[in-house]
Chain A
Amino acid sequence: MSDLLYSEEEEALRSAVRDLLGDHCDPAGVIARVESDAPHDTAAWKALAQNMGLAGLLVPEELGGQGATHREVAVVLEELGRFVAPVPYLSSAVVATEALLECGDAELLERLASGRAVGVLAVGLHRAPGTAFSVARLENGRLHGQLTGIADAGAADVLLVPAEDGGLYAVEAADAAIAPQSSLDLTRPLGTVTLDGAPGRRLGESAPAVHRALRSAAGLLASEQLGVADWALTETVRYLKDRTQFNRPVGGFQALKHRLAQVWLEVVNLRAAARSSADALSTGEDVEVAVAVAQAYASPAAVRIVEEALQLHGGIGMTWEHPVHLYLKRAKADSIAYGTAGAHRTALAALVDLQAP
């Protein structure tokens, strides 16, 4: 049976990450940053990736990583979600790293694990594991084409580009034109990558690498969604205990208490689902089902929880200055990222033999 709790080491990791993000990612600072030309928080990224060594959690020690598991990565992602931290952690330390682990490219793995370079897989954020993705053209060994909806493209040092020959290529960001897109989620901005005869180094086959990357991403995204949801619950409870109307705290009205209790229950369920898929990824047992279940549950749950948080904040929830909008945007974008709940339910139907008519 899978271990659904947090170990003491995992709790220690959580509090270290939370302390660090508390210093770097206060809500007002995040709001100001995402409106600027440099939406990513490079100082926070450096502290996490280089100083704490967290970019290398999934990378074996002999390749300069920490040799940890998806369970620890999940804890980091929970905290990053709690702060809607604008850092390319999921893109680089999970998605690109998993693709490279599949290809077995030691050189790039070391660069990414050390945190000195940010890697980005040039596959649209919305792609579900096991589905088709766009590829670059190959002409005389050079890459051509435009790939859109690439998460954190603007922060990339190296791009991992699938090409029409079925290969995955490493392209230095300097050899590509990367333009920001105007994204719903300001804290995980998307970009367009244009390749115009860019040189690339073939790393291996793209299909297994992309599948592995997207599957881990989907499974671990549930932990980020948990962090987002847990923030929303905690903040809303705090606010409703403080806010008075009709001469009493509005949190004392039963209609709202029941809604919050319901939100709590969904957070509790979300935690179990997220732990289960993180544990399955780390042990390799029952991975496909655990990931599909986690995403099918987490996406609608996180969105609903943050939507409740916004409504229960009243007018202040609609303002730019209150951070709840950052969380709503993240939750909604996450519900599309790495496959919608519907895509994961469809995958599940085949896995557990509940066929469509």
Chain B
Amino acid sequence: MTDASELRRRTTELLAAHPPATTERLDFLRARFDAGLAWVHYPVGLGGLDAPRALQAVVDAELAAADAPDNDPRRNGIGLGMAAPTILKYGTPEQHSRFLRPLWTGEEVWCQLFSEPGAGSDLAALGTRAVREGDNWIVNGQKVWTSGAHNARWAILIARTDPDVPKHAGITYFLCDMTDPGVDVRPLRQITGEAEFNEVFLTDVRIPDAHRLGETGDGWRVAQTTLNNERVAIGGMRLPREGGMIGPVAKTWRERPELRTHELHQRLLKLWVESEVSRLTADRLRQQLSAGQPGPEGAGMKLAFARLNQEISGLEVELLGPEGLLYDDWTLRRPELVDFTGREAGYRYLRAKGNSIEGGTSEVLLNIVAERVLGLPAEPRTDKDVAWKDLAR
């Protein structure tokens, strides 16, 4: 088994063969992937060494100390957090070798074409159609709220391939080329003024069957891998004390005594405590994962994260008083990433509202916790045995 000292040895080797100071960024990242040091828990040949996931921290620390370039993970959150584990689990060897390396290096950014105007929480009701034509699938439909579609080279896509069976049974999962002429990405301006997400219109998009992920009709099961990873992506984050949204508020509190009131003090302390406890819960979740005892805390982490971000950013705007009445910039921008800390309090307040909607709403996550963790009875389902085409829409 690959242990920490073995990983340190390989990291030293990589740094010797490709000194960060004189190596092109991309060349270094590719070499790191080929050395199995990209995500060490992935299989050999796919950027990893079959090592325990917890040991990634060893590699990351060594590389950071050597000032090596990193793959700027925030730029490709959907690719790294969701597309990669799904491709790894359901992909063919050809798909593995075609997609994983440029995904990890960030040469190819990914987006997620799941939600539709008529299918959000009820994602399995989606209506985008994929019809088989020889070696290709012809896709038509509309997706919405697609984060980063304007930067993405590839998309994970789910589409309906059989309307005559109940909704969960007739879905297939594809890898969609965003440069296909049938893909039309239109900015959807959001509450913050910018357009981080998009509407995506798919008109006769041709997807080769070789870009189908998993079996035809098995797309819902494949999508579960994506959705579960989406939820733990947040819980897996390791932050120092005050590393989250509470950091900027605490800083303002310390630096600007004139803003302090007793009422805000009580609220701030309460949120500081809750942030710290949430951080400990995330630490505990990660320790469980590395000890091989995956707990159900992941869904809970996203719930807590959303509520805290919203309460804290709301407090921050109030703390600023008259300055809270101002906003930094309403121009329509097309950001490459969601940059909470680079913007001001008003932005944080507005953007945090999405935290309880994106990646499954808090209401839906509470259902998941109640049913899958606590084993409470499932919501009544009237659509279970009805063909998708006969459902109310």
Binding site for B on A (CB under 8 A): 1-5, 237, 240-241, 248-249, 251-252, 254, 256-258, 260-262, 264-265, 268-273, 275-276, 293, 296-297, 345, 348-349, 352-357
B336-380: CB near A (< 8 Å → 1, else 0) gives 000000000000000000000000000101110111011111111
Q: A348-B273, A356-B262 are in contact. Are A1 and B283 (CB under 8 A)?
A: yes
CA distance A202 to B194 in the complex (A): 71
- Quick check: B366 and A258 within 8 Å, CB to CB? yes
Smallest Cβ-Cβ distance to B304: which chain A residue? A265
Does B90 have its Cβ within 8 Å of any Cβ on chain A? no
Cross-chain pairs A/B with CB under 8 angstroms, 8 sampled: A237-B375, A241-B375, A260-B374, A272-B277, A293-B276, A296-B273, A354-B268, A355-B257
Q: A248-B377, A356-B260 are in contact. Are A268 and B253 (CB under 8 A)?
A: no
- Quick check: B265 and A357 within 8 Å, CB to CB? yes
Q: A5-B287, A257-B376 are in contact. Are A293 and B304 (CB under 8 A)?
A: no
With both chains docked as a complex, state the minimum distance between the C-beta of A176 and any C-beta of chain B, in angstroms. 39
How many pairs, one residue from A and one from B, have CB atoms within 8 Å of each other in the complex? 123
- Quick check: A260 and B265 within 8 Å, CB to CB? no
Does B284 have its Cβ within 8 Å of any Cβ on chain A? yes
CA distance A349 to B293 in the complex (A): 36
Q: A252-B377, A297-B273, A352-B272 are in contact. Are A4 and B280 (CB under 8 A)?
A: yes
State which size class the interface on B falls in.
35 or more
Query: Which residues of chain B are within 8 angstroms of A237 by Cβ–Cβ distance?
Result: 374-376
CA distance A257 to B262 in the complex (A): 36
Binding site for A on B (CB under 8 A): 250, 253-254, 257, 260-262, 265-266, 268-270, 272-274, 276-278, 280-281, 283-284, 287-288, 291, 293, 297, 300, 303-304, 363, 365-367, 369-371, 373-380
- Quick check: B287 and A3 within 8 Å, CB to CB? yes
Q: A4-B283, A348-B273 are in contact. Are A353 and B374 (CB under 8 A)?
A: no
> Which of A254, A262, A268, A356 is within 8 Å of B281, CB to CB?
A268
Query: Which residues of chain B are within 8 angstroms of A5 by Cβ–Cβ distance?
Result: 284, 287-288, 291, 293
User: Knowing that A1-B283, A352-B272, A354-B265 are A-B contacts, what are 19 other residue pairs whose CB atoms are under 8 Å apart, sorted by A's residue number?
Assistant: A4-B280, A5-B287, A5-B293, A252-B378, A257-B374, A260-B376, A261-B365, A262-B366, A271-B281, A272-B284, A273-B280, A293-B273, A297-B273, A297-B274, A345-B270, A354-B250, A354-B253, A354-B272, A357-B257
Q: A252-B377, A272-B281, A356-B265 are in contact. Are A257 and B370 (CB under 8 A)?
A: yes
Q: Which of B277, B281, B370, B371 has the most CB of A within 10 A?
A: B277
Per DSSP, chain A at the interface is helix
- Quick check: B377 and A275 within 8 Å, CB to CB? no
Q: A261-B374, A357-B257 are in contact. Are A349 and B278 (CB under 8 A)?
A: no
CA distance A39 to B218 in the complex (A): 62
- Quick check: A258 and B283 within 8 Å, CB to CB? no
Q: Which of B283, B288, B379 has the most CB of A within 10 A?
A: B283
Q: Which of A257, A296, A355, A356 has the most CB of B within 10 A?
A: A257
With both chains docked as a complex, state the minimum distance between the C-beta of A309 and any C-beta of chain B, in angstroms. 13
Query: Which residues of chain B are within 8 angstroms of A268 by Cβ–Cβ distance?
Result: 281, 297, 300
Smallest Cβ-Cβ distance to B368: which chain A residue? A261
Query: Which residues of chain B are within 8 angstroms of A354 by Cβ–Cβ distance?
Result: 250, 253-254, 265, 268-269, 272
Query: Which residues of chain B are within 8 angstroms of A265 by Cβ–Cβ distance?
Result: 300, 303-304, 369
Query: Which residues of chain A are within 8 angstroms of B366 by Cβ–Cβ distance?
Result: 257-258, 261-262
With both chains docked as a complex, state the minimum distance between the C-beta of B13 and any C-beta of chain A, in angstroms. 28
Smallest Cβ-Cβ distance to B266: which chain A residue? A345
CA distance A29 to B297 in the complex (A): 35
Smallest Cβ-Cβ distance to A301: which chain B residue? B277
Smallest Cβ-Cβ distance to B293: which chain A residue? A5
CA distance A123 to B71 in the complex (A): 58
Query: Which residues of chain A are within 8 angstroms of B266 by Cβ–Cβ distance?
Result: 345
CA distance A5 to B254 in the complex (A): 34
CA distance A54 to B363 in the complex (A): 44
Q: A4-B287, A258-B363, A264-B300 are in contact. Are A353 and B376 (CB under 8 A)?
A: no
With both chains docked as a complex, state the minimum distance between the C-beta of B381 and any C-beta of chain A, in angstroms. 12
CA distance A278 to B376 in the complex (A): 32
CA distance A257 to B274 in the complex (A): 23
Q: A254-B379, A353-B254, A356-B265 are in contact. Are A269 and B278 (CB under 8 A)?
A: yes
Query: Which residues of chain B are within 8 angstroms of A355 by Cβ–Cβ distance?
Result: 254, 257, 260
Query: Which residues of chain B are within 8 angstroms of A257 by Cβ–Cβ distance?
Result: 366-367, 370-371, 374, 376
Query: Which residues of chain A are within 8 angstroms of B254 by Cβ–Cβ distance?
Result: 353-355
CA distance A356 to B260 in the complex (A): 7
With both chains docked as a complex, state the minimum distance between the C-beta of B122 and any C-beta of chain A, in angstroms. 15
